[in-house]
Amino acid sequence: QVHLAESGGGPVQIGGSLRLSCVVTEYSESNRCLTWFRQAPGKEREGVAAFCTPSGWIKYADSVRGRFIITLDRDDNTGILIMSHLRPNDTAVYYCAAVPSIRVPDIFTASKYPYWGQGTQVTVSS
């Protein structure tokens, strides 16, 4: 079955940086969107950034634009989220998710994604 595995989370100071990775295995379809979501306790899951291949289309949430960068490793099955200038409200469990194709208006709609990782905790504090 399709498997997604996030790594790289942990504690980080305010203003610091962190790099998350998402390794996707047993997923052979060439067209896909790989999207990062996050969820803090008591809050709804929200989309963070998306990268769709082979088009190269990228979308960022307004809250992270200019601070986060989404990209792929040279292995296209490894998604990367580079986070900088981190704030306390960036604290959340970060998930990666994949879907073969999706409409632009649905890119940050979690229910549209059939494949999910287990999540990695990011905690931003002083």
pLDDT of residue 9: 98
pLDDT of residue 82: 98
Question: Which residue bears the tokens 């994604």?
Answer: 113
pLDDT of residue 46: 98
pLDDT of residue 49: 98
Give mean pLDDT, residues 84-107: 96
Which of 80, 92, 81 is CA-nearest to residue 124? 92
| pLDDT reading at 123 higher than 90 | yes
pLDDT of residue 119: 98
| pLDDT reading at 74 higher than 90 | no
